[in-house]
C-alpha cells in the first residue's frame, strides 16, 4: 500500500495541481482520482510521487478497494 500523487491540470485554466490517493496499485489510485476530479481536471497517466500510506492529508483513501473490481472502476472512470 502506497500513497500515489498525480499531477492534475484544470481543463479551463490550465492550472497545475496535485491529487493524492492511497491504494494497492497506482492504477487504482489514478482511476479513483479520475472519478473524483475528472470532470474539471485532466489527470496525468504517470504518478508524480510515491509516499508511505496516508502520508499527506487531503488524499482519497481507496486502500480497501478490491482489486477484483478494477473493471468496474475502469468503466466508471471512462478510461
Residue 34 phi/psi, 5-degree rounding, is: -60, -45
Nearest to 39 by CA among 61, 8, 5, 74: 8
Please tell me the predicted confidence (pLDDT) of residue 78.
Answer: 84
Q: How many domains does the chain have?
A: 1
- At residue 37, the 3 state secondary structure works out as helix
74's grid cell: 475502469
- Which residue segment(s) compose the domain that 31 sits in? 2-77
Print pLDDT tens along the chain (79 aa).
999 999 999 999 999 999 999 999 999 999 999 999 999 999 999 999 999 999 999 999 999 999 899 999 999 998 5
48's grid cell: 508524480
**pTM, to two decimals:** 0.94
Amino acid at each position: 500500500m502506497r500513497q500515489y500523487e498525480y499531477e492534475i491540470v484544470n481543463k479551463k485554466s490550465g492550472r497545475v495541481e496535485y491529487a493524492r490517493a492511497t491504494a494497492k496499485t497506482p492504477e487504482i489510485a489514478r482511476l479513483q482520482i479520475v472519478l473524483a476530479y475528472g470532470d474539471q481536471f485532466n489527470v496525468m497517466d504517470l504518478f508524480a510521487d510515491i509516499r508511505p500510506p496516508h502520508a499527506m492529508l487531503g488524499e482519497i483513501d481507496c486502500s480497501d478497494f478490491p482489486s477484483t473490481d478494477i473493471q468496474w472502476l475502469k468503466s466508471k472512470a471512462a478510461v
